[in-house]
């Protein structure tokens, strides 16, 4: 590209900005780093709009900046483009005052790598705000954040059909609603043949860390097939948890079928039993979660309407597996190894 006076003036301005940031904190403090990347994104956006520069200016600016600051990270063309995207994603969507609020509370408390994932994967600022808050509250690693984005947590969070509004006091009802999801995604479980509810339960316990991550913050595992005796009869709860934020026991029942209203009645009985036999006086009412393979939302709403115990109904999804007829048409591991061996010999 042609080196114009405007470009020389602008790149000098950028270098001044770099020096200023180095003096303040050597870009070591995350809030300073995020603020610098924001300013860099703003400068790139404004100069490209003013002089109609294309993306080649980013490559040139990257070379000039790295020549001036050879030991500094974050000046690659790729990262400069992320800086521009970062600025444009927030600045073009919301007012400057809201940007400042986000920066003070969320953006500058979130590592740059996490920020990149959030603004590059979110559809709008509200979705980004959700993931920023969840990242900070749950101390997510970048890999965990990537998994939550991939599973579309924002769209699933708080979407379960529940009766919490009528059975729990505020603000507990709101917090409980936001605790549940629909659907729950258990993509760490793969069932290759016909399976029963107990098989799913076994897999969930074998992958308890991933299971708890999908359930969300606050769930503490108590036991599976939890034994209760009511009227000299034995009953077994699929899964029992204690939620540390809601301060209540949580019964999870798994049904490998579509939801039917009778399930709500049985879960209501289990919740009464836990409230009487397990719950302590200072615990909040026990909550129930029905996890089904499918549900009709209207039917679920009707089923929960007159239930006096707090419960919710959600679907769950397992990892997809190839159908048998398709699996038979694919080469086996041994066949693949044989083909690779022949290719090596031919070479």
Given a contact cutoff of 8 angstroms between Cβ atoms, the answer to whether 254 and 291 are in contact is yes
Residue 323 has pLDDT above 70, yes or no: no
**Burial call 215-249: b when 16+ CB within 10 Å, e when fewer:** bbebbeeeebebebeeeeeeeebbbbbbbeebebb
In 3D space, the residue among 141, 93, 92, 88 whose CA is nearest the CA of residue 117 turns out to be 141
- Phi/psi class of residue 218: alpha, beta or left (left: φ > 0; alpha: ψ in -120 to 50)? left
Burial category of 31 from C-beta neighbours within 10 Å (exposed 0-12, middle 13-18, buried 19 and up):
middle
Per-chain mean pLDDT for the chain: 89
Domains of the chain: 5-154 (no CATH), 156-324 (3.40.1350.10)
Burial category of 213 from C-beta neighbours within 10 Å (exposed 0-12, middle 13-18, buried 19 and up):
middle
In 3D space, the residue among 99, 104, 72 whose CA is nearest the CA of residue 86 turns out to be 99
Which residues is 249 bridged to in the sheet? 242
Per-residue pLDDT of 246-286, as tens digits, reads: 999 999 999 999 999 999 999 999 999 999 999 999 999 99
Residue 78 has pLDDT above 80, yes or no: yes
Q: Region 99-111: what's the mean pLDDT?
A: 82
Per-residue pLDDT of 217-227, as tens digits, reads: 999 999 999 99
Task: Kindly report the pTM of this predicted structure.
Answer: 0.81
Question: Following DSSP, what letter does each residue of 171-206 receive, concatenated?
Answer: THHHHHHHH-BSSEEETT----S---HHHHHHHHHH
Predicted confidence band of residue 113 (pLDDT cuts 50, 70, 90): very high
CA pair distance 189, 203, nearest whole angstrom: 7
Q: Region 100-123: what's the mean pLDDT?
A: 90
Token pair in block for residue 45: 């956006």
Cα 267–chain centre separation? 28
Q: What is the pLDDT of residue 27?
A: 42
Gap between the terminal Cα atoms of the chain: 45
Cβ neighbours of residue 199 under 8 Å, at least 6 residues apart?
191
């Amino acid at each position: 590209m042609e080196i114009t006076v405007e470009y020389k003036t602008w790149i000098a301005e950028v270098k001044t900005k770099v020096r200023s940031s180095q003096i303040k904190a050597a870009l070591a403090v995350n809030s300073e780093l995020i603020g610098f990347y924001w300013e860099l994104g703003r400068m790139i956006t404004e100069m490209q709009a003013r002089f109609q520069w294309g993306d080649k200016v980013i490559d040139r600016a990257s070379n000039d900046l790295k020549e001036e600051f050879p030991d500094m990270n974050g000046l690659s063309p790729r990262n400069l483009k992320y800086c521009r995207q970062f600025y444009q994603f927030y600045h073009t969507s919301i007012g400057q005052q809201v940007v400042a609020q986000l920066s003070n509370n969320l953006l500058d408390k979130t590592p740059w790598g996490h920020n990149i994932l959030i603004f590059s994967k979110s559809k709008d600022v509200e979705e980004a705000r959700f993931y920023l808050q969840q990242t900070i509250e749950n101390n997510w690693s970048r890999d965990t954040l990537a998994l939550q984005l991939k599973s579309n947590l924002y769209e699933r969070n708080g979407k379960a059909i529940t009766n919490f509004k009528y059975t729990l006091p505020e603000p507990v009802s709101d917090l409980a609603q936001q605790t549940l999801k629909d659907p729950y995604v258990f993509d760490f479980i793969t069932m290759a043949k016909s399976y029963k509810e107990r098989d799913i339960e076994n897999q969930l316990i074998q992958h308890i860390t991933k299971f708890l991550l999908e359930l969300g913050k606050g769930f503490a595992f108590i036991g599976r097939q939890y034994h209760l005796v009511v009227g000299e009869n034995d009953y077994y709860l699929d899964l029992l948890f204690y939620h540390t934020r809601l301060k209540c026991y949580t019964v999870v029942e798994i049904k490998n079928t579509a939801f039917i209203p009778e399930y709500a009645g049985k879960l209501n009985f289990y919740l009464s039993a836990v409230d009487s036999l397990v719950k302590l006086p200072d615990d909040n009412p026990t909550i129930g979660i029905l996890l089904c393979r499918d549900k009709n939302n209207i039917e679920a709403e009707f089923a929960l309407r007159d239930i006096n115990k707090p419960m919710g109904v959600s679907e769950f999804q397992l990892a997809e597996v190839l159908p048998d007829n398709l699996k038979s048409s694919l080469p086996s591991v041994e066949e693949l190894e044989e083909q690779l061996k022949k290719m090596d010999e031919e070479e």
